[in-house]
Amino acid sequence: MSSDAGPGPVASSPATSGPVTSGPVASSFVASSFVASGRALTGVQPGETLRLAGEWGEHQRHGRRFQVTACERIVPSTVRAIQLYLGSGLIRGIGPRLAQAIVGHFGERTLTVIDTAPERLTEVLNIGPARQSQIVEAWREQKAIAGLMVVLQGYGVSPLLAAKIYQVYGTDSADVLASDPYQLIGRVRGVAFHTADRIALQSGVPRESPQRIKAALLDRLENAAAGGGHCYLSLTALVAQTAELVEQDPDQVRPMVDALAAERRVVVEAGPDQVVVYAKELHAREVKLAGELGRLWQARSTLPLRPFTEDPGLHDDQRAAVTMALTSTVSVLTGGPGCGKSHTVRVIAATVRAMGGTVTLAAPTGKAAKRLSELTGLPAMTVHRMLAHQPDPDALFDQAPAQADLVVVDEASMLDLHLATRLCSAIPSGSHLLLVGDSDQLPSIGPGSVLADVLRVEEIPRVRLTHVFRQAEGSGIIRGAHLIRAGELPPLPGGGGFWFEELDDPAAVAERVVHLATVAIPRKQGVEPGQVQVLCPMRKGAAGTAELGRLIQDRLNPARDGAPEHWSGSSVYRVGDRVMPIRNNYDKGVFNGETGTVTRLVPEERLLEIRIDDGDTVTYGFDELDDLTHAYAISVHRSQGSEYPFVVAPIVVEAGGVMLRRRLLYTLVTRARSWVVLVGERKALELAVHRLGGRRNTGLPRRLSLAVG
């Protein structure tokens, strides 16, 4: 199967009757033998017959392997293959039992009957007119997708994108590919510039086409936001990056920036020392957020101030924070672990309530909100749920307010530009907004660095808690975290819940991490493996989230005979899997960073059900699984706002060396409550401690300074 990355996936060798030598071959196989063996041939359904071209060879870790360079799908022809094919969940309305009944009735002519005489399906028991119509519609859709896959393969593009393209464009998909493939960028997940560009160039679009260059400019801005959290790029950098991407002279690229600005798709702005370029939406949100924060800061407080009794147990900086929150309509409380942020919030909230005011406590994720509630003893909710009554989650203007005299948002480092804009737009003038967070943690997954930007504006009141309380002083995790924040290497191998195991080989690191997470720590601590979370600085490589997650899934929730499972790309979903939404879905009421468990998988309905940890049950269709990821091993970024009893993490230079930075390591360590075990290379740990991350490109500090000045 071809892909943008070059040679196709690696398949495990099926049993052979004689010796097989390395070299080019072409053979036909029934897909079940490959799907059962591992991650090979992503997107292939059980029962499909494939003609594969490639080479047999030896893999260092997995032994005899078949490197696939081309894949051709052949219509299943045997009864067994047809039954597997129909029962795989590919056709909505047909599960394994119904597939057996259909094939039992029509035999080898089954697919011909569905294709040419679908009315005959009602001859099968339990298929009435409604089910028959559902099957026919799903069959036609799959035929269209199969045809689209052939078209994509002709362009040298991964056929796995066919279903995603069809989901957006339907029967117009082929016309879109032929006329303007660049419009797929941003609308079809998984289609970036290089994919659309390959299609366009093979369709005859000139390399110097304005359409092509404008698409590349927008792609570079999107890549800067998604990959680096930047709200803008300098004009110089944008032109240079785009010129390199399209292999054109910068003089041909620069006029296209002006063309996009004239079309109001980007905003070109003169900064203090350079000209910068924003995508239109990010510019609008940044301007809006600065204006809303300025409105809140300048408003006269409506908080009913009355005399109150100070808590005698507060430290001086905690008392200063209480006074600040009660007297400032916008303020920030920050500090590291063990410094009493949560207790301070509890005192602030209790004081406001004692004075007759109302308080809303919120956090960006469900886990962070639950943790805030546990630590303060007060009700808390996610920011999304606080804003859920608003009719348009993506609207920039005229949003309904969250009615409270004081709104406290914990884990504010997680607020990206989008969520912060919605939040501040919803708070009425006169209410107080207190942002609480650790400014030394990673910034948000989405674009912007809101907490850090607000702290750069001198006019906004802030208190930083620095006193580590006695009950926290004995924690090796807290001691280690404060040393890392200061740029110092903690004592190794550690103690008091902070441990480092030195291993140099990434594959050995991965095996040790899996053993610790699934066997050693659960056995030693008498807990379930679900109490141990694996966090990774990187996604790729032997010690990345993808490979570690696969290994842990195989240990904790392997395939079982007769149990349903569904492959989506290179991932397989089973009942009992730990999963995490990676995109907000306001209709479902689930948000990025929450975790849950797959409780039900129904191939014939092409859906699975998930029980979110907060108790809600949500349904995902098989065509929505790009919105999920397995949670056996997750990135440090996705762990923000969460706390786990036990954390195990690989620390290797390998593929994730570029990610090893102080903020990431500090965030990782502070996710653990009882134990954190780091496994890997000492040089990687030293690199992470001493390397500082770069600042994101945002204009919020300058705009906010003007708004409050």
Annotated binding site for ATP: 338-342
Sheet containing strand 432-437, edge to edge, reads: 381-382, 359-363, 406-409, 432-437, 330-335, 462-465
Listing DSSP states for 469-485 in one string gives PHHHHT-HHHHHHHHHH
Strand 266-270 relative to strand 672-680, pairing = unpaired
Listing DSSP states for 19-62 in one string gives ---SEEEEEEEETHHHHTTSS-STTPPTT-EEEEEEEEEEETTT
Cα separation values, 379 from 341, 359, 362, Å: 16, 10, 9
Annotated binding site: 338-342
Q: Rounded CA gap, 76 and 97, in Å?
A: 18
Q: Rounded CA gap, 280 and 257, in Å?
A: 12
Q: Rounded CA gap, 298 and 455, in Å?
A: 17
DSSP state of 311: P
Question: Exposed, middle or buried by CB within 10 Å (0-12, 13-18, 19+), for 206?
Answer: exposed
Structure tokens at 510: 């991965």
**Look-up: residue for tokens 């000492």?**
682
| b/e code 374-405 from CB counts within 10 Å (16+ = b) | ebbebebbbbbebbeebeebeebeebeebebb
Q: Rounded CA gap, 452 and 437, in Å?
A: 10
605 Cβ contact partners less than 8 Å away, ≥ 6 residues apart = 92, 93, 95
Nearest 5°: the CA angle 533, 337, 415 is 75
Q: Rounded CA gap, 56 and 62, in Å?
A: 13
Q: Rounded CA gap, 517 and 92, in Å?
A: 37
Q: What is the largest CA-CA distance in the chain?
A: 90
Q: Rounded CA gap, 260 and 235, in Å?
A: 13
The helix (H) or strand (E) run that includes residue 581 is: strand 578-581
- Using alpha carbons, select from 442, 601, 447 the residue that is nearest to residue 537: 442
Q: 675: helix, coil or strand?
A: strand
User: Are 79 and 108 spatial neighbours (Cβ–Cβ below 8 Å)?
Assistant: yes
User: Are 474 and 654 spatial neighbours (Cβ–Cβ below 8 Å)?
Assistant: no
User: Are 442 and 637 spatial neighbours (Cβ–Cβ below 8 Å)?
Assistant: yes
